[in-house]
Structure 1
Amino acid sequence: MTRMRFAAAAAIVLAGATAAVAEMIRLHVSKAQPAFDQRTAEPVVAITLTPEGARAFGRFTAARVGETIHLRVGGKVMSSPRIMEPIVGGALQISGLDSVAAAQDLAVKIREGAATVEVEGSDK
């Protein structure tokens, strides 16, 4: 399964599920490009959020420390990381892709808005 790692246009939709109410917020991507993971040298998609998107994502993750979230791109679950601490800074990385071509294709889809990126909270 593809993994997502977080570090320091298209829309990103965040959905936080609680027992009673699901929260949806929209974030904006300022950049999505293919890259290589510095530790593993595997192909990744590096995503940079706008300042507004970074603040919203930071609030979203701050409210979900200890929870697992699901990252979907174009409806397909790409990653299910557990939030260990608030993620601020507006940068994230999608890893675990099969090839450089897959990273390039995914980056183009995100950049052009052909694939929405959704993040959903799943448990407490």
Structure 2
Amino acid sequence: MRVIGLIAGFALMCSVAAHAETVRIPVQSAAVGHDDVTNQDFVDVKLTSDGQRNLAAFTRDRVGKMIHIRADDVILASPTVMSPIEGGALRLSPGATGFGGMSAQEMVKRLSTGSTIDVSDGK
């Protein structure tokens, strides 16, 4: 009976460990900027105070792990958390393919005041 309990406990631990968590982060504003060195546009996202607290709490326990930042279903960035993200803003670079095929200007329109971004620890 004890072996069955251990197996059940292990299975429960595995299912909890595999469960991804997502937190919704309210956006206060978003703006396009331009990097003259890379000649690329980027998106600066300012978070609400609730968004800032939510992001800091979420990343505090995920140092050393990859997270995924999305707007709708578009992945904006997948950084490895080096330290808790406690600031009130994010700078998002488009990479080689843009923001899911959208320009920085199009992404800013999606991230208008009152929108949210989702941050998760699983794909």
Contact 2:25/2:119, CA 8 A, preserved across alignment? no
Indicate the residue corresponding to 2:52 in structure 1. Answer: 54
Q: Which residue of 2 aligns with 1:121?
A: 121
Distance 2:103 2:113 in 1: 15
Following the alignment from structure 1 to structure 2, what is the Cα–Cα distance between the partners of residues 28 and 103? Answer: 19
Matches within 5 A, 1:1-124: 19=17, 21-37=19-35, 40-96=38-94, 98=98, 102-111=103-112, 116-122=116-122
Cα contact 2:30–2:113 (8 A) shared by 1: no
CA–CA distance in structure 2, aligned partners of residues 39 and 52 of structure 1: 33
Q: Which amino acid in the other structure matches residue 117 of structure 1?
A: I
Post-superposition CA distance 1:40-65 (Å, at most 9, x none): 34201100001111011111111110
Query: 4+ residue runs of structure 1 moved beyond 6 angstroms?
Result: none
**Percent identity between the two aligned chains:** 36
Query: Structure 1 pair 25/78, CA: closer, same or farther in 2 (3 Å)?
Result: closer
Compare relative contact order (CA 8 Å, sep 6+) and give the higher one, 1 or 2: 1
Range that drifts further, 39-48 or 28-37:
39-48
Alignment: residue pair count: 104
Map Cα deviations across residues 87-123 of structure 1 (whole Å, 9 max, x no partner): 1111101112549x8111110111166x752211139
Shift of residue 82, structure 1, vs aligned partner: 0.4
56 and 39 in structure 1: CA distance in 2 versus 1, 3 angstrom threshold: farther
From the two aligned structures, give the one with the greater helix fraction: 2
* CA displacement 1:50-87 (0-9 Å, x = unmatched): 11110111111111101101122220223211001011
Larger strand share, 1 or 2? 1
Distance 1:92 1:38, change over 3 A: farther
Q: Structure 1: how far apart are the matches of 2:53 and 2:36? A: 25
Change (3 A) 1:38 1:93: farther
**How far does residue 26 in structure 1 lie from its aligned partner after superposition?**
2.7
